[in-house]
Amino acid sequence: MPHPLSFVGIVHTVISLVPVVAGLYSFARYSKIDTTTRSGKTYLLGLVLAVITSFGVSSTGGLNAGHVFGIVVLLAAFGGVLVPRLTLFGKLRPYLSVFGLSFSFFLSLVPAINETLTRLPAAQPLAAGPGAGAVKITLLVVFCLFVVGFAVQCRLVRGQQRGLVRT
């Protein structure tokens, strides 16, 4: 295996699957990550734990770009949680909330895709590194899905604001 996982790396990977599964479930069930639901709360808790455990996974032994990226993911998620409480944003609040939580989900997939494609299959990984074509194409596809998904979410929010769609 070219890049073996340490015990801490395995624990981090298992924990990191929690927000992915909870987020996918929430998108499928509610068309968004709804933090008032069990899946939304599980997503946030899993995300926090995944970022915390990422600090134990470091080939350099200190703070690195991946750790900072994790903090940015948390800022996006908690921005999505906090923005509905800020009257400053008026009618944009539900859109910004949906964006923050969906964007945090997209961002959390970036390292997941990179790590998966550069480690699996173990005998001959699909990508040699983060700059490999397979990683770039997969990230582009996921980004396009994020953009389309956010557009759909905006339509749903607009319908809810007009009273056309039930929550």
Q: What is the DSSP letter of 35?
A: T
What would the pLDDT profile of 106-141 be if each residue is shown by its tens digit? 999 999 999 999 988 888 999 998 999 999 999 999
The string of pLDDT tens digits covering residues 14-68 is 999 999 999 999 999 999 999 999 999 999 999 999 999 998 887 676 788 888 9
Residue 166 above 80 pLDDT? no
CB 40 within 8 A of CB 19: no
Contacts by 73-78, CB closer than 8 A, 24 or more apart: 73/47, 73/104, 73/107, 73/108, 74/47, 74/48, 74/104, 76/100, 76/101, 76/103, 76/104, 76/107, 77/44, 77/47, 77/101, 77/104
State the pTM of this model: 0.90
Confidence of residue 1 (pLDDT cuts 50, 70, 90): very low
DSSP 85-119: G-GGGGGGHHHHHHHHHHHHHHHHHHHHHHHHHHH
Residue 145, pLDDT above cutoff 90: yes
